[in-house]
Amino acid sequence: MSTAVHLPRTLDELARWQRGVLELEGPVGHADLADLEAVLDRPVPNALRAWLSIADGGELGPDRLFSTAEIAEQWLTWPDLVAGTYAEDPDWGAKEPPRDLLPIATDDEGNLRCLDLSSPGPEIVEWRRETAEITTLFRELDGWLVAALRTVGLRFDSRGRPKPLRAGAEQAMPGDIEVHLSVEPDASVPRLDRALWFRERGTPEDALFAHREASAAWPPRAVNDWQHALFALRTGRTTEARGAIRRALSRPTCADPRKHSFRGGVLAAAHGLLAELYVDVGQVRKSDEQRALAERAAKKYGSDGYAESDELQDALALVGGGRRHQRRRGR
């Protein structure tokens, strides 16, 4: 099938740029593509094949796109890169790390952009080098490439000339958030980023509305619900906060425990905060259940310092349990 079938929006965006302005390499050769498929031991996904027929690597916005040779190298070294992480993960029972992520790009901090071959699309996910956590960014390659091109367009015109800084740009919402939402309006990551921006720069009403939208975003992420709960508490909406925490705790886990992970200290904290909120409405049995789950989560995942974080302490201070917690710590 033609490139237009798999990357229709990308081709439209590329048509806006003069030839030679973007820092992209030429199209892949047939031999290089065959070599990549031999390494993968599977066909190259159609959308990626279509992109490589346009550019076999290069710079695009904040990311460096891998060539076919680099993709093959990344695929071969991926198991060694993540083996220790999965071996130590309490929710990963397999002997070998998963073989579903195909790295296709990196940013300047070493975080990888990958195709999740286990998902429809396949999805574009981010693997963070510091935490080894995996987060879905886009439903498919076409959307990610469009967003990358539009992000470049925030700073440069179609001839590659720098654009002047817009008046009030420092107070405006970051352009990369707006770009992401222009491509996928219901995307989970930028919806949460927008809510967090409104918490710092906007009105409480706008922030709360944005958090509600983030909780309804795709794909569902427990962290979106958790941040919704924390802000609902700040605005005195304890019933809404309880509901948001319950949603966070009921989100199904992915087959890969590193993807959209909601564990460690945050999981224990969510159970603990929900326990205190149940105390405030006199539901003692439910409170005891949540305390037991908090202890179980802390024992299973260990402590990562979140229990002492300002974010959690501020939340606990807003409920009766938080005041009791502060007295126990001698505050």
Specify the domain boundaries for CATH 1.25.40.10 within the chain.
179-328
Domain covering 179-328 assigned CATH 3.90.25.10 in the classification: no
What is the predicted pLDDT for the residue at 169?
Answer: 59
Instruction: Tell me the pairing of strands 101-106 and 63-65.
Output: antiparallel
Which of 153, 146, 220 lies closest to 183 in space, CA to CA? Answer: 146
Q: pLDDT category, 327, cuts 50, 70, 90?
A: very low
Q: What pLDDT digit, counting tens, does each position of 212-241 carry?
A: 999 999 999 999 999 999 999 999 999 999
Tell whether the model's pLDDT for residue 165 goes beyond 90.
no
Specify the domain boundaries for CATH 3.40.1580.10 within the chain.
3-155
What is the predicted pLDDT for the residue at 328?
Answer: 45
Domain covering 3-155 assigned CATH 2.70.70.10 in the classification: no
Candidate from 9-18, 112-121, 125-134, 161-170 with smallest mean pLDDT: 161-170
32 contacts: CB under 8 Å, gap ≥ 6: 56, 67, 68, 69
In this structure, what DSSP letter does residue 18 have?
P
Average pLDDT over residues 133-137: 98
Q: What pLDDT digit, counting tens, does each position of 245-291 carry?
A: 999 999 999 999 999 999 999 999 999 999 999 999 999 999 999 99
Q: How many CB atoms lie within 10 A of CB 47?
A: 22
What is the predicted pLDDT for the residue at 4?
Answer: 78
What is the predicted pLDDT for the residue at 322?
Answer: 54
End-to-end CA distance of the chain: 67
Q: What is the mean pLDDT of the chain?
A: 93
pTM for this predicted structure = 0.93
Average pLDDT over residues 53-77: 96
Q: What pLDDT digit, counting tens, does each position of 180-205 carry?
A: 999 999 999 999 999 999 999 999 99
What is the predicted pLDDT for the residue at 170?
Answer: 64
What is the predicted pLDDT for the residue at 3?
Answer: 85
Average pLDDT over residues 93-119: 96
In this structure, what DSSP letter does residue 62 have?
T
